[in-house]
Amino acid sequence: MAVAGLDLTVGAGECFGLLGPNGAGKTTTIEILEGLTVPDSGEVEILGTPWRDGAAGRALRERLGIQLQETQLADKLQVGEVLALFRSFYRQSHTVDEVLALVELEEKRKARVVTLSGGQKQRLAVACALVSKPELLFLDEPTTGLDPQSRRQLWEIIRRFRADGGTVLLTTHYMEEAERLCDRVAIMDHGKVIALGTPRELIASLGAEHVIEFAVGDGTPADLTDGVRGLGGVTAVRPGVGGVGLSLTVIELHRALPALLALLQQRRLELSSLTTHHATLDDVFVALTGRQLRDT
């Protein structure tokens, strides 16, 4: 995994998202920012100071909260004990009860880590990051592999942290998560930033608000693409997911959809699937890379 030519600035109080498929270099980037990986070249400044060894580095770490992607906390310890341990590393920190309340794990205080569910473990990991009352919170794929309910609980924790004035930098490969949580996002692919802006700006850059995906029975005739491109309201035509069917970005769905159906009727083509949705960051990624986010 390599990362090259990254130039990012995250403002105080902002929630910034690094988005991209697995292997895009998100974790490498965030670990460089966290001072855990030393970059081959380039400069990193966190809260106005570069990473240094020794006392200066430790002073900086006092102000950060970090959740790593793969950390497995000690199974045999109780939730309260784990937090007491992490709390002991910091000069200034929440009490165990305070931080348990932040992540809504009060009733699990005496439970051993091994007995927690995936979502609870993840909330505990975030609690370990929050225990230091950080100014800046790093979250590396905080919701990967979680069920929708656990994911929403984590989003709520992040929102509350931001409401208290905290800054968040998170990585995710869920575009939906980035759209809901982040003020700005950088979309990464193959170690490079390929798009940067607010989710709204990025979606607007598609030049359309809606996406129509469809496929016809016996494969797409070669000349159909041109025919579809000529329809009113269609701004772009791409091959559909996995090369099946076509994917259109459109401005006015109410004009483009009847026109498309009329065209298919006239060509005597039979629809095998048809979906429409509001344009999302997923569509931005597809438009930029020609690949779907999840399967890559």
Partner 1 sequence: MYQLALSRMREFYREPEAVFWVFGFPIVLAFALGLAFRNTGPGKLQVGVVVGAGDSALAATLASPRLVATVLDTATARLRLKTGRVALLVVPGDPVVYRYDSTRTESGLARLEVDDVLQRARGRTDLVAVRDDRAVAPGSRYIDYLIPGLLGMNLLGSGIWGVGFSVVQARQRKLLKRYMATPMRRSHYLLSFILSRLVFLIVEVVALVGFGWLLFGVAVRGSFASLGGITLLGSFAFAGLGLLVASRAKTIEGVSGLMNLVMLPMWILSGTFFSYSRFPNAMIPFVKALPLTALNDALRAVMIDGAAITTLGIPIAIVVAWGAVSFVIALKIFRWR
DSSP assignment, residue 106?
A: G
Q: Per rule CB under 8 A, is residue 111 in the interface with partner 1?
A: no
Stretch that binds partner 1, among 4-12, 13-21, 80-88, 275-283 (CB under 8 A): 80-88
Confirm or reject binding of residue 84 to partner 1 (CB under 8 A): yes
Near partner 1 in 20-49, by CB under 8 A: 34-36
Least Cβ distance, residue 202 to partner 1 (angstroms):
30
Kindly state whether residue 71 participates in binding partner 1, applying the rule CB under 8 A.
yes
**How many CB atoms lie under 10 A from the CB of residue 73?**
18
Of positions 58, 160, 277, 291, contacts partner 1 by CB under 8 A: 58
The overall longest dimension of the chain from CA atoms, in Å, is 75
Minimal distance in Å, beta carbon 69 to partner 1? 8
* Distant-in-sequence, close-in-space partners of 152: CB < 8 Å, separation ≥ 6: none
Task: Tell whether residue 62 is a contact of partner 1 (CB under 8 A).
Answer: yes
In whole angstroms, give the CA distance from residue 19 to residue 174: 8
Nearest distance in Å: CB 59, partner 1: 7
Q: Tell me: does residue 89 bind partner 1 (CB under 8 A).
A: yes
> Quick one: 167 or 247, whose CB is closer to partner 1?
167
Residues in contact with partner 1, counted by CB under 8 A, come to a total of 30
- 59 part of the interface to partner 1, by CB under 8 A: yes
Give φ, ψ of 30 to 5 degrees.
-70, -30
Helix (H, G, I), strand (E, B) or coil at 193: strand
Output 80 or 119, the one with its CB closest to partner 1.
80
- Rule CB under 8 A: say whether 68 interacts with partner 1: yes
Question: Which residues does 166 contact at the CB level (< 8 Å), separation at least 6?
Answer: 13, 134, 135, 136, 137
Helix axes 148-163, 118-130, angle to 10 degrees: 10
Per CB under 8 A, the segment of 16-24, 82-90, 145-153, 275-283 that binds partner 1 is 82-90
Distance between CA atoms of residues 158 and 190, nearest Å? 28
- Of the candidates 135, 277, 273, 143, the one whose C-alpha atom is nearest the C-alpha of residue 217 is 273
List 29, 132, 167, 280, residue binding partner 1 (CB under 8 A): 132
Per CB under 8 A, does 72 bind partner 1? Answer: yes
Minimum CB distance to partner 1 smaller for 71 or for 272 = 71
Position among 51, 86, 174, 214 found at the interface with partner 1 (CB under 8 A): 86
Residue 39 CB, nearest approach to partner 1 (Å): 15
CA 43 to chain centre: 24
Q: Coil, helix or strand for 64?
A: strand
CA dist 39 and 41 (Å) reads 5
- CA nearest to 237, candidates 196, 282, 207: 207
Shortest distance in whole angstroms from residue 229 CB to partner 1: 50
How far apart, in whole angstroms, are the C-alpha atoms of residue 8 and residue 10?
7
- The residues binding partner 1 (CB under 8 A) are 34-36, 58-59, 61-62, 64, 66, 68, 70-74, 76-77, 81-82, 84-91, 112, 128, 132
